[in-house]
Chain A
Amino acid sequence: MSSIPNNVRPLGPVVIDIENITKDYVMGEEVVHALRGVTLKIHRNEYIAIMGPSGSGKSTLMNMLGCLDTPTSGRYEFNGKSVAEMDDDELAAVRNREIGFVFQTFNLLPRSTSLRNVELPLIYAGIEPERRMERATQVLTDVGLGDRIHHKPNELSGGQRQRVAIARALVNGPSIILADEPTGNLDSKTGEEIMDLLERLYERGNTIILVTHERDIAAHARRTVHLRDGLIELDHAGFIPELDLPIAEMTST
């Protein structure tokens, strides 16, 4: 089991402030309470892992944090601005500028080069072509793909694709990077490389929210939040094997 990370960076101001949010889904006749009242504060330059079994509300919380969805009730402030009442286009603007998404399945545009993929958020932000090109090339070089900018996704390995996706997440200088199972589709060696990249980004001052069910991935974070049945079960600093490993596994060790 990986060791507890030691270099914890000082906390910045609050980026995400969630208070008692709930989310209900109507599934036919039934109402599913995906979140039952979650309160959470995330500071700038935190590295936080959100864990939980499937059905715990983990994905729903991630969608909330990523402004892809709005809560049924409760308060959500992003950089001091209330998100809960925003309309579709305002949410799109927040996602564009404040949130960098990294998906398990990379979600690159298959027929576009790395450069064009990374440029996309800049296009939506209305940046002029020369600056777009310059910035995207810079970020791709930062993630170690300076020589792959004109390659299309099918000419890249899984790890390289995820790097492109991370570059795309970073390109607009977002307040948070929201990574949903970023190593889920990668072998463990490549997965570790991606985690090293995220670690570097954290050290350079980025705020990282990791959504995962894998313990050794979550172990990279400086703070771990456990969800169960739509509620926060545990929220603590670092990664504590006694708390974060399931009972069965602990007894066997």
Chain B
Amino acid sequence: MKRFLYELSESWKIAAAQMRSNLTRSTLTALGVIIGIIAVTLMGTAVNGISIGFDKSMAVLGDDVLYVTQWPWKPVDDWWNYRDRKKIKTEYAETLNRMIAATPNSKLVIAVPTSSFMRSIKYSGNQVDNVFVLGTTSDFIVTSTIDCTSGRFFNELESRGGANVVMIGYDVADALFPSQSPIDKSVLINGQLFKVVGVNTRQGTFLGLFSWDSMVAIPLAAFNKYFSAKSDSDVRVKIKDKTKLADAKDELTGLMRRVRGLPPEKKDDFSINEQQAFKSTLDPVKNSIAIAGLFITGLSLFVGAIGIMNITFVSVKERTKEIGTRKALGARRRTILLQFLIESTALCLLGGFIGLVFAYLMCFGIGKAFPSFPIHFSLGLVFLSMIVSIMTGLFSGFAPAWTASRLDPVAALRYE
């Protein structure tokens, strides 16, 4: 054991000396690994960021909320079966709430209606187009992650009375009121004045997925008064215990069938969705991005590894006589194997370290230049790329090191 440690430290010294004396060669060889590690690390960072971005966007939906909609949140092949379904009406929410109140031990808390429309919003010369205008009740706050930086969500009184009040998203506020507080100012939506009561916290957008930043919310009564036309409505229902999601879903299905007055032999003519269903349609996309990206960048690392393997073979050939001498002095096969494995590993580790530093700087740069791009440089990734470097070194060094350890000492000593 002790001897092994001495041999190990000796091997590290030789490897360091070897790299110093062949500086150009070592640098060029390590370059392959440097590029490989940069590519893999950046890709890992991006994949990580995409994943976090997805989850963040998904959090807007809430993991304890069920969505009653006409269309299911997943791709369907038989769209014609869904097209003719009756629309979901906002009045269902009231009916559902009465049923929930009448059900003992209901798994559901509250039903909230929402209607939406895309509209432009104006404030004294500033205009934001395609804003997602949501009409809902004051209960909405229970089912969502609304958190006002300034002001508040509209209250029950305003909700019932259909007051002209609005809570606006961060980006909308930023565009309309670049240099002043939006609170108590009146904005123009579809020709109607609405008083701003609150601004939602910034959530960030990602890959065009929905975000509260570009939405505004107004009382449903006001929404129906001014834009009653063909808006899309659905009902969201908050559940008590997110671990009993399936039970809650069953209960809600039953209630909705009663609302719709469906006889037992008829199929459901509505869909009940949850965050998870949406996630499961996005996860394969996320995973294939990750796999394809890591495979392609992995190839560049593989090319780097072949460079290391090649140079280690050259090194073994050049130092055949040295290997013979070492064997004559008592180096065992294991000693020689270890020596060359460590040489290739040291080269890879060095390349990996330099690559990591570059990757970190690049991530930092990208993060500064494009703040919206979700980049996430984690310690786990650092650890992983160091492991990958070591594995690459061992992989690429093994064949040459094995050849060296098997050399016949007599032939090696005679080699010129």
Contact = CB atoms under 8 A, between A and B. Distances in A.
A59 B18 CA distance: 32
Nearest to B335: A124
Contacts of B325: 103, 107, 109
B361 interface: no
A242 B277 CA distance: 104
A70 to B, nearest CB: 11
Contacts of A111: 17-18, 21
A121 B330 contact: yes
A101 interface: yes
B326 interface: yes
Contact of A88 (B328, B333, B413): B333
Which interface residue of A111, A128, A129 has the most chain B CB atoms within 10 A?
A: A111
B2 A92 contact: no
Contacts of A206: none
Interface in B367-416: 408-410, 413
A123 B12 CA distance: 13
Interface in B18-57: 18, 21
Interface string B273-299: 000000000000000000000000000
A68 B330 contact: no
B139 interface: no
Nearest to A93: B330
Interface stretch (B3-11, B78-86, B109-117): B3-11
Contacts of A95: 327-330
A127 B331 CA distance: 14
Contact of A89 (B328, B333, B413): B333
B407 to A, nearest CB: 11
B332 interface: yes
A123 B10 contact: yes
B17 to A, nearest CB: 5
Contacts of B409: 68-69
A125 B7 CA distance: 10
A151 to B, nearest CB: 16
Given A63-B410, A97-B330, A128 B3 contact: no
B328 A69 contact: no
Contacts of A123: 6-7, 10
Contact of A128 (B2, B324, B329): B2
Contacts of A63: 410
B321 A96 contact: no
A69 B329 contact: no
Contacts of A128: 2, 6
Contacts of B6: 123, 126-129
Given A107-B321, A123-B6, A126-B3, A88 B329 contact: no
A120 B329 contact: yes
A121 B328 CA distance: 9
Contacts of A112: 17
A69 B414 CA distance: 13
B322 interface: yes
Contacts of A168: 329
Contact of B329 (A89, A101, A126, A129): A101
Contacts of A97: 330
Nearest to B5: A126
A89 B409 CA distance: 12
A55 to B, nearest CB: 15
Contact of B332 (A89, A101, A109): A89
A97 B17 CA distance: 27
Given A112-B17, A126-B2, A120 B410 contact: no
Contacts of B335: 124
Which interface residue of B2, B321, B413 has the most chain A CB atoms within 10 A?
A: B413
Interface in A76-108: 88-89, 92-93, 95-97, 101, 103, 107
A109 B13 CA distance: 13
A182 interface: no
Contacts of B410: 63, 68-69
A4 B6 CA distance: 46
A124 B330 contact: yes
B11 to A, nearest CB: 10
A125 B326 CA distance: 12
A57 interface: no
Nearest to B325: A107
Contacts of B327: 68, 92, 95
Interface string A196-212: 00000000000000000
Contacts of A107: 321-322, 324-325, 328, 413
A66 interface: yes
Interface in B139-175: none
Contacts of A69: 408-410
A252 to B, nearest CB: 35
Contacts of B3: 124-126
A111 B3 CA distance: 23
Interface in A180-217: none
Interface string A157-173: 00000000000100010
A122 B188 CA distance: 88
Given A63-B410, A109-B322, A124-B326, 16 more contacts: A66-B328, A68-B328, A68-B410, A88-B332, A88-B333, A96-B330, A97-B330, A103-B325, A107-B413, A120-B326, A121-B329, A121-B330, A123-B7, A124-B331, A126-B2, A172-B330
15 contacts: A68-B327, A68-B328, A69-B408, A69-B410, A89-B332, A101-B328, A101-B329, A111-B21, A121-B330, A123-B6, A123-B10, A124-B7, A124-B332, A128-B2, A172-B330
